[in-house]
Amino acid sequence: MIIPAIDIINGQCVRLTQGDYDQKKVYNANPLEVAQQFEAAGVTRLHLVDLDGAKAKHIVNHKVLEKIATHTGLQIDFGGGLKSHEDVRIAFDSGASQITGGTVAVKNREMFLEWLEEYGSEKIILGADVRNAQIAVGGWQEQTSLDLFDFLQFFVGKGIQYVICTDISKDGMMQGPAFELYGQILTQFPSLKLIASGGVSNNEDIRRLEEMDLYGVIVGKAIYEGKVDI
């Protein structure tokens, strides 16, 4: 499954490099236009990230989500700044098909598990952002000592089906994804619907991930820079 990414700052479609807000590039002032282009190319899913929300620690760009959900048929997975029951309710009310929780799954496990119970494992994606196989949170600004595999083990035990795993060192570098890491995850958790994120640089990367039997791949900068032709 090819899942293009749209990252939002100030209502605009941007990309960061390795999560650094100072390394921001605006690709389009109109995210809806970008989403419609993806849909026209045959894409069915979209990964929409509220970077303002990630910084503010609450949902900010839900109007952008609502606009894309209303004017396209894309299945949208929405993340960034979802820290409360109210944030998640707003995301689903605004048209998200799924939401991704990363930081909250570390900082407030109970709440994340309540979301899982309330909305079901089809709608809640676990975001596992890693640096040296340890989880990073808060828009990648904060490194924890939490081991990725322990983290996954816990939530798989609670019924999580979908995981987006981003190797931060690869993100926005367009030097290839973390193939080895994804291989290790699938060996340990073969039934997981694992979505790769970060580092995709060309069509060959995508083919290789498909051969490894990953569920999907999120592609951002490589599309905007013309390295991957949707």
Catalytic residue numbers read 7, 129
Secondary structure class of 45 (helix, strand, coil): strand
Can you list the alpha helix ranges (DSSP code H) found in 61-202? Answer: 62-71, 85-93, 103-107, 109-119, 148-157, 179-188
**Whether 72 contacts 101, CB under 8 Å:** no
Q: Which burial class, exposed, middle or buried, applies to 180 when counting CB atoms under 10 A from its CB (0-12, 13-18, 19+)?
A: exposed
* Helix or strand run (H / E) with residue 11: none
Strand 134-137, strand 142-147: pairing: antiparallel
